[in-house]
Chain A
Amino acid sequence: MADDTPLLEIDDLEKHFEQSTNILDLLLRREPSKIQAVDGVSFTLETNDSIAVIGESGCGKTTLLLTLIGLHDITGGDVVYKGTPMSDFDDADWKEYRSNVQVIFQDPFNSLDPKMTVEESLKEPLKIHDVGNRDERVYQVLEDVELRPPEQYLHRKPMNLSGGEKQRVAIGRALVLEPDIILADEPVSMLDVSTQASVLRMLKDLIDDYDASMIYISHDLSTVSYISETVNVMYLGRIVESAPTEWILDDPKHPYSEALVSAIPIPDPHHDRARTEMSGAPRDPIDLGEGCRFRDRCPKVIPPDGIDVDQEAYREVMAFREALERDDLPLERIRKELDDPGDQEAFAAAIRGEYFSGEMTGENATTVDAALDDVADGDLDAAADRLRDRFESVCENTPLSVEAEADWHVACHQYYDHDRRTKEDHAITTD
């Protein structure tokens, strides 16, 4: 493009779903809870870029993709395509966008119509967008996706193709309109290893040949370096780290990226990798509120100044506070398991047993004990207040995405100087 307008700008994009409500919620006029699937995601795709979005299942990466192709309405922020925001698109803009932005789905076994021949599948987008020279284009694209000679493939149906061949057809179908942007959702994860590499390599070459750009979505960090120069690591709806792929693989900065990279198996019996220290799974993205989304599992969650506390013990306090404030403590069950359900002291001890393993000392121990007594007495608010007063972490403010090093953005409080910012500055920004 002649001017500086980026190809695609994703600007503080937000996609929240409302959880289904029942009649009681309606009668009581309860606010429906929000599922924050995508929550303030920003990045820019330039021409010929290949950007990856990596995260575990449930992190919002597929919602992001479906929002980008217009299958979900945006609930906040915007997507700007060649300078025009999606919120201002008219019918003609949508038609142009849909012809220029194509998707490759994960499962080639289900994304091709079983009743259509390869030729019909490839011609369909050409017909819809009224493009001429169809025979020639279909022939060329089959050559490009290495289904050669094309005559042999034109009249086959998906059942007569192997998994790798099907995914090549799906890639061909995405390319046949010569789009600007390809959105690829785990395009090789269903394929056997022996074909994965060749499909990845072909996809990358074709993106260059067709002068297109790509957003590559995957849970698999180990193959990303073959397809994207830049990676965004996503956790519970937000991008926590963004940097050149090899940098993140080599030296991840965000504690979540670190956990993700260190859990990747190394194919070498001589290499002694430590198993993950992480326990549990990400929580549901419902009513997440303020703060870093990883703080309940983060091994590096930051204690307040001036309290002397062991990191492991502090993490336990934070996990307990999290459950307490979200009203997730299994109090009824714990009480039922007591020999004498009326014994308050035993009740407090049982709750402690469930959440705390380590020893705490001094003022920290006194505070936790008092809070456990509050909980046993049923005064959850008092317990929450008491713990917050002593243990509130800076991680309970949403971390800014800051440039920790050139081209290396991290959304973690470890990477900025809190003395030079006011609390208000911690609110989410879109730099």
Chain B
Amino acid sequence: MSRPLLEIEDLTIRYETDGGDLTAVSNASFSVDEGEFFGLAGESGSGKSTTAKAIIGGLDDNGWIDGGTIRYRGEEIQDFTDKELNEKLRWKEVSWIPQSSMNSLDPLQRVSEQALEIGRVHTDLSNEAIREKLKEMFDVVGLQQSRIDDYPHQFSGGMQQRAIIALALFLEPSLVIADEPTTALDVIMQDQIFKYLDRMKDDAEISLLLITHDISVIFESCDSVAIMHASQIAERGSTTAVHDNPRHPYAFMFKEAFPDIREPSRDLEVIEGYPPELIGEVSSCSFTDRCPWAVEECHQSAPPLEPVGDDDATHAASCFRSDEAYELYERYGATDPSAEVEAEQGGN
């Protein structure tokens, strides 16, 4: 697992809205290696789902890629037409697990019929071969093989989500993009599903791009992570590097906002304010207004995503104060002591 499978470079995505052109993703860069589980984390509106949709050409009609490249196995795919995406990419190379399984299966078709349709469009496989592949995958996700001919309503919610996962995996794609695949499920069911994904990683060397707000799941199940805030990647790197040595204030505050049942009485971090709505060019750090350590520079230009220079070469943060912020946080909490001193001096 070292060759990059998916490379996103300087990606910018905008949506046309009544208020002007909204920047949903701004200069985002990261790459997913073969056999790697990569987590893309952030809160609602951070641009994480938009990034994922752009990869498979699924942006809404008012959205477009306004800069940067998306490469799959070295080939630029951001300008692919629907036809090219269908022929070369969708389902057999890159598949998609959507958030709400309830609405993603056609209620009028048996699961096997939906698989046949996907197989006919994207492969040359015979019907019998497609059915066999789907059966195998049902076994992997813990559904009885004989149930491939059931209608979606014959499954419970958790089973439907597993049927979707079977559909996403049965053509043996190299990359699976999963958008909050377990958010609607209970923890035990979530854990069952990750058990199957782990198995797919070991057996079939799939790569996973996991989009979720739940950093616990990412720290536990992924090799690498990128944390997004209002269109920008705040920090990315291996999960251990980002966990042990975080540099961007949003990254470590976000991490500290999550409960950990090992420390049930630890104070949870609160990030004040809300992410800004970004119309037009983004010319500052999008976290500035919520950041206790923001300085003048942060308002004037967007900090580039730069390597932090530790053991992990992929570990990078986009913060002008990345070399001191975490230390200040650990020492003084979520306030900037130097800002308070300045304010006092200003008051005198």
At the interface, yes or no: A56 with Cβ under 8 Å from chain B?
yes
At the interface, yes or no: A266 with Cβ under 8 Å from chain B?
yes
- Of residues 274 through 304 on chain A, the ones whose CB sits less than 8 Å from some CB of chain B are 275-276, 278-279, 281
A56-B186, A225-B265 as given contacts; A276 in contact with B191, CB under 8 Å: yes
At the interface, yes or no: A195 with Cβ under 8 Å from chain B?
yes
Distance of A221 Cα from B268 Cα, bound (Å): 15
Of the stretches B87-95, B114-122, B212-220, the one at the interface is B212-220
Of the stretches A90-98, A257-265, A356-364, the one at the interface is A257-265
Q: Chain B: which residue is nearest A276 at the CB level?
A: B191
Q: Chain A: which residue is nearest B149 at the CB level?
A: A333
Distance of A333 Cα from B154 Cα, bound (Å): 15
Chain B contact residues, majority secondary structure: helix
- Of residues 145 through 169 on chain B, the ones whose CB sits less than 8 Å from some CB of chain A are 146, 156-159
At the interface, yes or no: B108 with Cβ under 8 Å from chain A?
no
Question: Quick one: which of B195, B215, B216 contacts A276, CB cutoff 8 A?
Answer: B195
At the interface, yes or no: A267 with Cβ under 8 Å from chain B?
yes
- Nearest Cβ in chain B — how far from A193, in angstroms? 5
Distance of A364 Cα from B243 Cα, bound (Å): 51
At the interface, yes or no: B264 with Cβ under 8 Å from chain A?
yes
At the interface, yes or no: B314 with Cβ under 8 Å from chain A?
no
At the interface, yes or no: A271 with Cβ under 8 Å from chain B?
yes
List, in ascending order, chain B residues with CB within 8 A of A164's CB. 274
The answer to whether A260 and B187 have CB atoms under 8 Å apart is yes
User: What number of A residues sit within 8 Å (CB to CB) of B?
Assistant: 45
At the interface, yes or no: A66 with Cβ under 8 Å from chain B?
no
A192-B213, A194-B270 as given contacts; A221 in contact with B142, CB under 8 Å: no
* Given A162-B274, A164-B274, A281-B159, 12 additional A-B pairs, CB 8 A: A163-B44, A219-B187, A221-B187, A221-B261, A222-B259, A222-B260, A246-B265, A249-B261, A263-B190, A266-B216, A267-B219, A275-B198
Of the stretches B62-70, B200-208, B250-258, B294-302, the one at the interface is B250-258
- Of residues 262 through 279 on chain B, the ones whose CB sits less than 8 Å from some CB of chain A are 262, 264-265, 268-271, 274
The answer to whether A269 and B191 have CB atoms under 8 Å apart is no
What does the 1/0 interface line of A228-256 toward B look like (CB < 8 Å)? Answer: 00000000000000000110010000000
At the interface, yes or no: B101 with Cβ under 8 Å from chain A?
no
Question: Quick one: which of B158, B192, B195, B216 contacts A267, CB cutoff 8 A?
Answer: B216
The answer to whether A267 and B156 have CB atoms under 8 Å apart is no
The answer to whether B240 and A261 have CB atoms under 8 Å apart is no
- Nearest Cβ in chain A — how far from B342, in angstroms? 25
The answer to whether B259 and A223 have CB atoms under 8 Å apart is yes
Distance of A195 Cα from B274 Cα, bound (Å): 9
At the interface, yes or no: A57 with Cβ under 8 Å from chain B?
yes
List, in ascending order, chain A residues with CB within 8 A of B243's CB. 267-270
Question: Quick one: which of B190, B220, B255, B264 contacts A273, CB cutoff 8 A?
Answer: B220
Distance of A197 Cα from B266 Cα, bound (Å): 11
A-B contact pairs, 18 of them (CB 8 A): A56-B189, A163-B44, A192-B44, A193-B258, A197-B257, A197-B268, A225-B261, A259-B188, A261-B261, A264-B187, A265-B187, A266-B260, A267-B216, A267-B258, A270-B240, A281-B156, A281-B189, A354-B144
